[in-house]
Structure 1
Amino acid sequence: MTALVLVCDTFTGGWAWREVAAALRESGAEAHPVTLTGMGDRRHLAGPDTDLETHIQDLTQLIDHLDAPDVVMVGHGYGIHPVLGAADRRPERIAGIVHLDAGMPQDGDPALALVPDQAVRERLDRTGPTEEDWLLPPPPREQWPRWGSVAGVPADALARLDRLAAPQPLGTLSQPLRLSGAASELPTTGVLCTANGSSIALVEALVGMGDPRFRALTDPRVGFFELDTGHWPMLSVPGELAGVLLKGAAGEGHRVAAAVSGRPAHLGPFLLDVPQRRRERVGRVDLHLPDADGPRPAVVFVHGGPVPPDVEPTPRDWPTLVGYGQYVASLGVVGVVVDHRLHDLGDHGRAAEDVAEAVELVRADPRVDGGRVALWYFSGGGLLSADWLAAPAPWLRCVAASYPMLAPLPNWGLTDSRFRPAVAVRNAGRLPIVLTRVGLERAEIAVTVDEFLSAAEDCEANVEVVDVPHGRHGFEAIDHTEEARDAVERAVRSVLGHLR
């Protein structure tokens, strides 16, 4: 018989698993919903010294008192930290670990690093817990989405979440997780909640980037499931979640393969054969220069992200971005590619500064007509377009975006940030916007495009949509079809037309 130990996210307790636990028991499994020290109906046990180690000890004590030979640990959000800590102490008792809409913390990582509310992260980074200030109150009801999407949660369940939520001891978030590696070989399951911004396609894209942190996800002992709901599946789809947990405990799940022939998808060749033009590197900026006299207009291409800092080659050497730069240069326009530093979810401000500096460098170049510049964003870099849409400069003739993310994903913690193009477009006026949309977009990104287009329609923004019905995210490197080539040529013609 399998025993599933269920550990929920911040502010909650074992009560959140009520329906899931009932469904598991009906299927013949043991279910042990956990209320950690200081949480739920144990909130009176919290003190200034309640920390992550306290919660790890809670779980190791429970494991030691279970008779079931196979124990599967389920960690939801914050809960994955004490789950991994306890599994590291008792690896011989653990049959598997389930990351339920949770991150992949490593040795030395505090749970704070994965808190989706950016304001909370910044506050604790500055001060940390003190003897006087050691509790983090749960969010007001209207701010629960800052801690993860509440999509699918019925009104009565959301009211229960709000009513029963307990303050979180800050030490549980600030204390680093310590792992010896003893549990690193255990079977692992990832349950991804798509309405919160996670998906198997996104995992495969991260693996495809070649980041060594995600290499372990291609291990055959790692399986994945998706749930079409928000961050609280135990409240929104308890029966479906129980079924997925049982399948995960049985070793089922989608397996992620390593890149074929070792070449990541984004390093595939550009879909057009373009004439070669001179390329010049200045700091983080590459200029693709046309064979032309006098100052020429420029298109600044802004890559997506986050991109890990040690990825090689860096984006300005990716075939797609080089291809675009060379293509516009062959048509008499300066193509600019900038290696901005969007390496993590907290880097959008720094990346925006990098792009702004690149624009000023380019506009000051005597070979560039500084009054005729377009900005072209790709994928996750689309969030960086918000500043320019919110306050268009007179020299900005066009903003383009290809398969962009146009609102932060719910689990990115950027709800109240300035990086929301779907909001900023309301101030874009008549600035031309050329949006290349792929028909086979990842669901979590497609919804942000829909939000953007709806806002653009409401404010009568000047948006042209170039559709690639059978195109995938990053189609220029993977979909070498006539449809895809026509879309690139049409988008480039449109952008250059606005630079005349």
Structure 2
Amino acid sequence: MTAFVLVSDTYTGGWVWQDVAARLRESGAEVYPVSLTGMGDRRDLAGPGTDLETHIEDLVQLIDQIDPAGEASEASEAGEVGEVGEAASACRVVLVGHGYGIHPVFGAADRRPERVVRVVNLDAGLAQDGVPALALVPDQAVRDRLGQQTEPYGGDDWQIAPPALDAWQRSGSVAGVPADALERLTRLAAPQPVGTLTQPLRLSGAAAGIPTTGVLCTANGSSIAMVESQVGLGDPRLQVLTEPQVSFFELATGHWPMLSAPDELAEVLLRAVAGEGHRIEPAGSAQPGHLRPFLLDVTERSRERRGRVDLYLPDAEGPRPAVVFVHGGPVPADVRPTPRDWPAFVGYGRYVASLGAVGVTLDHRMHDLTDFGRAAEDVADAVEQVRADPRVDGERVALWFFSGGGLLSADWLAAPPPWLRCVAATYPVLAPMPSWGLTDSRFRPTAAVRTAGALPIVLTRVELEIPEIAATAEEFLTAAKDSAARVEVIEVPLGHHGFETIDHTDQARDAVRHAVRSVLGHLRLPLDPPARN
């Protein structure tokens, strides 16, 4: 017998699992939709002392009482505690944590590892020892409020009010949720005790070997392809995702699949218990894609390093225009080599220098989804440093953004300075993923492009783009068309995200040449006929 323990995200309770629970029971499983202390129909039990440990203990007590066919319930009513434990040990317990729920789930699994046969991470981040759930809360307003708190909580400030009907998207995509279900979600939502978000999770490592399945909701901005891309960067924290007991599924819906796709979610949970799912291969001895050679054979050229900025200087007299290349992210702080030493950015820097412009690469500090503000400051500082260099014509500068760095283009598109002659973007993210918590932030190029005016924009798209990223480019182009922005689109047939070191094809090489020469043309740099570099 399998027993599913279902733990939902902030503000909700066991009622949110109603349809999923019914389908799982039809399969013959035991199902326990959980309302943690202070949540759902137990909202009146919360107090200022309700914290993450309270919720972990809720689950531990439930696990201790679960049995395969009712014997434990009868024994418990008779006061036969020993029989409860004996019956419970025969039941396979699967803990499902949705969003915030993954933190009490891992806490409980750590305390009862012998009882838990699988943990399912449903559209949630990677819970870690010593890190509070707040670190993974998508809602930036909640993170800001609790992160800035310096005094002990008192009075009425020990709870976070649930979202209004039109504000749930700050906590994750509501794609696919019917209107009546969204109304019910709002009506039944309970305030979240602050301590459940701010108390660090403490793990002993006892649950490290429990099989784990991640269920990624693609409309919320997560996918297997994105996970594989992050794992490929070499972040040691993510290497656990390549272990053989870890599997993944995708659901084409938003953050609330129990409301938007209950049948599909129930099926995935049953398949997870059966050991199915996609496995992510460890890097092994193969060279990761971002460290493979640049697709153009560009002549080596010395660079000048100043702090976080590298300059590739042309063989030319007098101040020259500059192209500043801005890498994507987040890139973990301990990843080596850092992005400015990746072959693609070295290649771009050398290439524009060979054509007469100053190539500029930099390392900005976007190490986490909360770092966009700091990364934007790093880019602005780098631009000012470059413009002040006497070898640079400070009135002729282009900014070129890649991947997740595309969001950093928003400031420059919203109010282009006169010296900014072009903005380029290659396989960019041009609107925040719903799960990134940037809904109300300034980092929305899809909105900023409406005030870009006559600023030339060069957008390079790859045919085999990650769908969630491709959708942001389409949104951007629609906004650009509505505002008459000047956008040139360069397509890369059969190209992948990061194609410069993955796809060594004639089409890919032509796309890079085309994009570089378009950007340099906007800098009014005289160019010879295209060379076959």
Matches within 5 A, 1:278-293: 278-293=302-317
1:302 to 313, 326, 334: 326
Aligned to 1:184: 208
Cα deviation for residue 430 of structure 1 reads: 0.7
AA of the residue aligned to 1:25: R
Deviations 1:85-116 (A, max 9, x none): 00000000000000000111111111111110
Deviations 1:42-74 (A, max 9, x none): 101111111111111110000000113210000
CA distance in structure 2 between the partners assigned to 1:88 and 1:336 by the alignment: 48
Structure number with greater Rg is 2
Matched, 1:97 2:119: yes
Q: Is the 8 A contact 1:40 1:164 kept in 2?
A: yes
Indicate the SS of the match to 2:60: helix
CA distance in structure 2 between the partners assigned to 1:234 and 1:167 by the alignment: 20
AA of the residue aligned to 2:393: D
Aligned to 2:105: 83
Q: Is the 8 A contact 1:8 1:75 kept in 2?
A: yes
Cα deviation for residue 119 of structure 1 reads: 1.1
2:424 to 392, 400, 416: 400
Q: Is the 8 A contact 1:3 1:31 kept in 2?
A: yes
CA distance in structure 1 between the partners assigned to 2:137 and 2:511 by the alignment: 39
If the length of structure 2 is used for normalisation, what is the TM-score? 0.93
AA of the residue aligned to 1:199: S
CA distance in structure 2 between the partners assigned to 1:278 and 1:58 by the alignment: 61
Aligned to 1:9: 9
Aligned to 1:410: 434
Aligned to 1:29: 29
Cα deviation for residue 469 of structure 1 reads: 2.5
Aligned to 2:84: none
Matched, 1:205 2:229: yes
Cα deviation for residue 262 of structure 1 reads: 4.0
1:390 to 385, 400, 414: 414
Matches within 5 A, 1:188-267: 188-259=212-283, 261-267=285-291
- Percent same amino acid at aligned positions? 74
CA distance in structure 1 between the partners assigned to 2:471 and 2:190 by the alignment: 32
AA of the residue aligned to 1:237: A
Aligned to 2:71: none
Deviations 1:125-154 (A, max 9, x none): 111661211111101111000000000001
Matched, 1:130 2:153: yes
Cα deviation for residue 260 of structure 1 reads: 5.2
Give the ranges of 4+ consecutive aligned residues of structure 1 lying more than 6 Å apart after TM superposition.
none
- Structure 2: gaps spanning 5 or more residues: 69-90, 525-533
Deviations 1:258-299 (A, max 9, x none): 225242211111000012222110110000111111111100
1:427 to 428, 440, 451: 451
AA of the residue aligned to 2:133: A
Q: Is the 8 A contact 1:276 1:330 kept in 2?
A: no
AA of the residue aligned to 1:124: L
Aligned to 2:40: 40
Aligned to 1:461: 485
Matched, 1:165 2:189: yes
2:362 to 332, 338, 342: 338
Matched, 1:311 2:326: no
CA distance in structure 2 between the partners assigned to 1:108 and 1:131 by the alignment: 24
Cα deviation for residue 255 of structure 1 reads: 0.2
Q: Is the 8 A contact 1:277 1:291 kept in 2?
A: no
Cα deviation for residue 393 of structure 1 reads: 0.6
Q: Is the 8 A contact 1:259 1:265 kept in 2?
A: no
CA distance in structure 2 between the partners assigned to 1:11 and 1:123 by the alignment: 17
Indicate the SS of the match to 2:495: strand
Indicate the SS of the match to 1:81: helix
CA distance in structure 2 between the partners assigned to 1:278 and 1:103 by the alignment: 41
Matched, 1:156 2:174: no
Indicate the SS of the match to 2:3: strand
If the length of structure 1 is used for normalisation, what is the TM-score? 0.99
Aligned to 1:277: 301
